[in-house]
Amino acid sequence: MADITEGLWPKKITLTTHGVQAHGDSVTELIFNEPTGKDLMNLPMMVEGEGMVLPSMHLASKMAGVPPSTIERLNATDAMEVMKLVNPFAGQFLETLGT
């Protein structure tokens, strides 16, 4: 299971996925900064069913400062840890939009 540091930002996730690359280098951990308002406002929105969906993986990419392809290559265990970290921000952002 991936390890997430407790406490304030930035937060670090130690990856269990091997061979993940970011900017041409192999990475063993991702460090996530707290998203800014600009990060949230620049996210693409998608309509799904009767509501709007915020692409959490795109937000994760912004928060960790890595390309989206890095997040896409994570194994399921690491991806779930990333989503637990990112999704509270996604939910709060959608609430402010009235969805």
| pTM (predicted TM-score) | 0.75
Residues in the chain where the model's pLDDT stays below 70: 1-7, 45-54, 89-99
Q: Residue 99: its pLDDT value, please?
A: 47
Q: Residue 94: its pLDDT value, please?
A: 46
Q: Residue 86: its pLDDT value, please?
A: 86
Q: Residue 70: its pLDDT value, please?
A: 95
What are the CA-CA distances from residue 55 to residues 8, 18, 31, 86, 99 (Å)? 24, 24, 19, 10, 15
- The encoded tokens of residue 69 equal 């392809």
